[in-house]
Amino acid sequence: MDAVLYVGVLLVYFAAMIFIGVKNRKGANSVQGYVLGGRTVGPWLSAFAYGTSYFSAVIFIGYAGQFGWNFGIAATWIGIGNAVLGSLLAWAVLGRRTRVMTQQLDSATMPDYFGKRFGDEKLKIAASVIIFIFLIPYTASLYKGLGSLFTMAFDIPYWVCILIMAAVTAAYVLIGGYMATVWNDFIQGIIMLFGIVVVVAAVLMSKGGLTEAIGQLSAIPAGEMQGAYVSFFGPDLYGLIMVVILTGLGTWGLPQMVQKFYAVKSESSIKTGMIVSTVFALVVAGGCYFLGGFGRLFVEDASGNFDAIVPAMLSESLPAVLIALVLVLVVSASMSTLSSLVMSSSSTLTLDLIKGIKKDLHPKSQMFLIRLFVALFIAVSAVIAIVYDRYGLSFIAQMMGVSWGALAGAFLAPYLFSLYWKRTSRAACWACFFFGVAASLAALVVSLCASSLPPSFTESFLYRYVFSSSVYVGAWTMLAGFIIVPVLSLFGKRKDKERLDALFKPFEELNEAVEEAAGGYLRKEPAPYTIGEPSEDPALFLEGSSRGGKE
């Protein structure tokens, strides 16, 4: 009887997703419409698209179980870090600059931005190759966690779950493009917000409430430390900080996340989107990691199988109706991130790599290739996930682990500096690309050969605090970019001064407008207003000037 309920709920959900795809098919007839929704996406849709792309089943099932097991309720800091670093500051620092800069450069993808910002087609192609290589295993990792949850509910093979989710996602993305994904993301986001609150409350109530659950958790020792799993920073502060940096700051360099800023309707939408996405991240990510912190009350020995912790908590705590809600929640989280990743991957491969080689590629051919690669990316990632589950290939598992660090390590620093600093050089960008990929691949090799490494290395400071975890490597690789880019840029010569001055002019006009408005206020004199000059609201003036008077 329960299985009938689960199937019925999922069928209704899948039908709604496909219906939204069909409703948005008319807006997906052009490249700009299919890839960016014609840059007309409002703040709420943009914020939910950002949040749902951020958090997937990997967060809810895998990371919540793993980091909750390792850090206890201090894992909640990871969710707070995601909200502050990954959402609030990402929108504040990158949002407006990204929209204005990419609109001036007429770029639809991150590789295209790099190529046009630095005037180097080879840089664009290199960025495309990095995305192509590292987004596929990252996409495959989205299916992790679904297997154990669906087995609990339906007792059906893992590969069936993967194929169903892949087919439904492919249907609405292929039909409706970017607008279909953001509308579905909005619905999926509402489900995630409601679902996580209900699930956390139900799980805690099954242990007698929050106070009782914390009391039981405090009795579990971490080695010789008593009460470590309810302490403020948990039993491993260094590991906690590294996870916060990787999962929070890392979003600044991920192409599928940054691309959300490209499609925002107007600059005035940035502030609203920032607030909404931050609240969303605080509830969803904070709730997930807080929930995972109580995993030791439900599982005595994880034995490395962290994906089984959260399903065990749910099966013991929730009635059938709430398990159906969780199924939809997890599928929503995975499908939203999957659609974002395949859109980013396919558009990059078509517009940056193939079109970079074949300059006269017709728009209809571009549309065909983008849709073809959407289907291909979904199919390949599904096959990788099935092969990994069937044969347990350690290479695939490790590739999934290093993907986030490689992408963010390669792109974060050069992208951020290039938005704010004219002097950011092409050589610095190349160096960061190379270092990010090389460091991640080195970490992959070390992890695969860990059992045969000499004790002198495995007991060293370098191994313990850098190479012993893909999280550590990813975090340090990103941070190293903040040294590589400015140092190499200072030694380089500034080129294309006139082009860069024109590119940065809107931001300088805003500074002048703010200073003039502030000066007028301090003098208690109204700032003069004429057409084409700063009004009382400098942001409104810039919004018009940066668009050249056009929306």
Q: pLDDT tens for residues 309-345?
A: 888 888 887 887 788 888 888 777 777 777 878 888 8
Query: Which residue matches tokens 């490209």?
Result: 262
Where does the pLDDT of residue 512 fall: very low under 50, low under 70, confident under 90, or very high at 90 and above?
A: low
What's the number of CA atoms in the CB half-sphere (13 Å) around residue 42?
4
Q: Identify the residue with better confidence: 143 or 298.
A: 298
Domains of the chain: 2-392 (1.20.1730.10), 398-495 (no CATH), 498-546 (no CATH)
Q: Give the range among 35-49, 150-164, 191-205 with minimum mean pLDDT.
A: 150-164
322, containing H or E segment: helix 320-348
Q: Which of 256-260, 296-300, 516-520 has the lowest mean pLDDT?
A: 516-520
Higher pLDDT, 140 or 530: 140
- 186-227 pLDDT, tens digit each: 888 898 898 899 889 999 999 999 999 999 999 888 777 778
In the prediction, which pLDDT does 528 show? 41
Per-residue confidence (pLDDT) for residue 109, from 0 to 100: 84
Q: Which of 405, 420, 414, 410 is nearest to 487 (CA)?
A: 414
- Eight-state DSSP code of residue 493: P
State the maximum Cα–Cα separation within the chain, in Å, rounded to a whole number: 74
Dump pLDDT digits (tens) for 454-478.
Answer: 888 888 999 999 988 888 999 999 9
What's 264's DSSP letter? B
CA distance 519 to 517: 5
Task: Give 135 or 123, the one with higher predicted confidence.
Answer: 123
Eight-class DSSP state of 37: G
- Token pair 């490689």 is found at 406
- The 3-state secondary structure of 232-244 reads CCCCCHHHHHHHH
User: If 0-12 CB within 10 Å is exposed, 13-18 middle and 19+ buried, where does residue 26 land?
Assistant: exposed
Instruction: Find the mean pLDDT for residues 288-296.
Output: 92
**Residue 77, pLDDT above cutoff 90:** yes
Q: CA–CA separation, 42 vs 272, rounded Å?
A: 9
Q: Which of 67-71, 158-162, 229-233 has the lowest mean pLDDT?
A: 158-162
Does 546 score more than 50 pLDDT? no
Q: What is the mean pLDDT of the chain?
A: 82
The whole-angstrom separation of Cα 258 and Cα 252 is 7
Q: Is 177 left (phi over 0), alpha (psi -120 to 50) or beta?
A: left
pTM confidence score:
0.84
Q: Within 61-95, where are the H helices?
A: 64-71, 76-83, 90
Q: Which of 198, 197, 142, 182 is nearest to 28 (CA)?
A: 182
CA distance 176 to 37: 10
